[in-house]
Amino acid sequence: MSLFGGSNADYWEPIRRRLIPHIHSVLRRYGMYAENPAHDREYAYTVMVGEEEMERVLDEEWGFSRNPVAALKHEESASGEPVYEIGSWRKCYKETSGGYADGSPFSKWQFHIRLYPHTCDDGCEHAEIDGRAVDLYVHWEINWLYDPFAHYAGKGWEAEEAKKRTRELVSEEFASEKYFDKFSD
């Protein structure tokens, strides 16, 4: 079991959505944050499975752990309303002479995946799957347990390699008709 529970520890997200905005309002006075918008450049794929199944895959198949300490992020809907993440997961890596290998919770790097409910309020072609699919937003960064200051400052943050790795994982785990890129033509 991970530090913050596995795929069945769904109690974290309501706690985060209730608590983090209050923490954010205090931190904002000091030029800091605990809540902010997601970046489109972090989007990897939309996977046509429900939240529970995606969290089971993250936990049991891919070895990710819940990450309730992360800042709360949201997408902007077509109507301008925030759509909050429904899951924050991470996997830690250590550097090796050949690249990276699975690490401990205190390893230098973390691969961060956030889940959002797939919404299609702008008339997109996939409206029929609303509520039955998740959008994956990803990035690679310094682990908050390894160096909290560097992590908070965004040192080592990047999305392209994380997107590439996520797309590999998704294509290995799911049949091709189970995922798509919502930003592709």
Is 55 a member of any domain?
Answer: yes
Answer yes or no: are the C-beta atoms of 33 and 172 closer than 8 Å.
no
The angle at the Cα of 22, spanning 110 to 52, to the nearest 5 degrees, equals: 50
Least confident residue range of 15-24, 126-135, 171-180: 126-135
Is 34 a member of any domain?
Answer: yes
Mode of pairing for the β-strands spanning 82-84 and 35-37: unpaired
Tell me what pLDDT residue 24 has. Answer: 82
Tell me what pLDDT residue 3 has. Answer: 64
Is 4 a member of any domain?
Answer: no
Domain range for 93 is 12-180
pLDDT at 130 over 60: no
pLDDT at 15 over 60: yes
Beta bridge partners, 136, equal 45, 115
Is 1 a member of any domain?
Answer: no
**pTM attached to this predicted model:** 0.86
Which is nearest to 74 in space by CA: 36, 44, 46?
Answer: 36
Is 6 a member of any domain?
Answer: no
Amino acid, single-letter form, for residue 6: G
Which is nearest to 141 in space by CA: 161, 115, 169, 167?
Answer: 161
Is 120 a member of any domain?
Answer: yes
Instruction: Please give the helix or strand (H or E) that residue 74 lies within, else none.
Output: strand 72-76
Answer yes or no: are the C-beta atoms of 87 and 7 closer than 8 Å.
no
Is 7 a member of any domain?
Answer: no
Helices (H), the chain: 12-28, 51-56, 148-152, 160-173
Total tally of structural domains belonging to the chain? 1
Alpha-carbon gap, residue 121 to 167, rounded angstroms: 25
Highest average pLDDT, of 7-16, 32-41, 176-185, comes from 32-41
Is 169 a member of any domain?
Answer: yes
